[in-house]
């Protein structure tokens, strides 16, 4: 009975607090089907991963979205400036990334939104548009706080659990195999690495980009995913693969 109770409680928490949960306000986890997917990175900036990721994105011609943590942005401001300077979107991922964020009260929730907003606005020179809560967990005060700050809540449609010691090959196969047109892909910075020096996320990234393109899915920033598609060339056929309906929960 105890195991059944624990399982039921876990299910309820996932439904309420998880990336597609609706109880604490709407959030965007995918868009209408289109031949693009948003490539997003959480938990940075990281002094080793962020430069490596930016190098790969520049080499492959990809614009992505970085959901930065405020205290880490203040520790490594030049990495935020570089990401913005190279055309990437800077989103908010709370100010301190507390693991108990779903239990935060109104004052702490306010600080976790407003302080990172001020930090990233100053460092990037632009007004951020999107907020992703820590671990995708929300609380009863967050939706109003995000709206009052002029932001929109965003989660994701597919993740590779790259923070759990998975190999680069498994990260690539999971993301490329499961993402759908118009989806939002979640990866992380600062993932535990082996002695080779690069995190499995960084080592997987080129393969993820190549695999998405092999499926005729172009990796883009969240801003670009939500922008209108370029007008097709005269005579060009539409090649949007099958996909689920929009994911505004």
Residues tagged active-site:
42, 188
- The candidate with the shortest Cα–Cα distance to 93, out of 67, 122, 65, is 67
User: What does the alpha-carbon distance between residue 208 and residue 112 come to, in Å, rounded to a whole number?
Assistant: 31
Residue 143: CB atoms within 10 Å: 17
The b/e string for 183-209 (b: 16+ C-beta within 10 A; e otherwise) is bbbbbbbbbeeeeeebbbbbbbbebbb
Residue 25: CB atoms within 10 Å: 18
**In the 3-class helix/strand/coil scheme, how is 98-164 assigned residue by residue?**
CCCHHHCCHHHHHHHHHHHHHHHHHHHCCCCCEECCHHHCCCCCHHHHHHHCCCEEECCCEECCHHH
- The candidate with the shortest Cα–Cα distance to 50, out of 76, 87, 70, 71, is 76
Structure token pair of residue 171: 């990260």
């Amino acid at each position: 009975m105890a195991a059944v109770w624990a399982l039921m409680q876990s299910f309820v928490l996932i439904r309420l607090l998880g990336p597609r949960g609706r109880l604490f306000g709407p959030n965007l986890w995918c868009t209408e089907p289109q031949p693009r997917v948003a490539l997003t990175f959480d938990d940075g900036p990281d002094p080793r991963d962020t430069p490596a990721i930016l190098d790969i994105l520049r080499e492959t011609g990809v614009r992505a979205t970085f959901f930065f943590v405020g205290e880490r942005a203040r520790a490594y401001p030049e990495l935020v400036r570089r990401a913005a300077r190279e055309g990437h979107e800077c989103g908010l991922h709370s100010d301190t990334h507390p693991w108990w964020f779903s239990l935060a009260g109104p004052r702490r929730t306010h600080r976790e939104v407003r302080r990172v907003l001020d930090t990233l606005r100053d460092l990037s020179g632009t007004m951020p548009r999107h907020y992703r809560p820590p671990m995708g967990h929300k609380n009863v005060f967050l939706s109003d706080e995000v709206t009052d700050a002029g932001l929109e809540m965003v989660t994701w449609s597919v993740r590779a659990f790259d923070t759990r010691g998975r190999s680069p090959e498994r990260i690539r196969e999971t993301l490329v195999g499961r993402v759908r047109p118009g989806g939002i892909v979640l990866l992380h910075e600062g993932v535990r690495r082996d002695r080779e020096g690069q995190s499995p996320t960084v080592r997987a990234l080129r393969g993820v980009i190549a695999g998405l393109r092999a499926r005729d899915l172009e990796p883009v920033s969240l801003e670009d995913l939500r922008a209108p598609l370029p007008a097709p060339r005269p005579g060009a056929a539409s090649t949007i693969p099958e996909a689920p309906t929009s994911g505004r929960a």
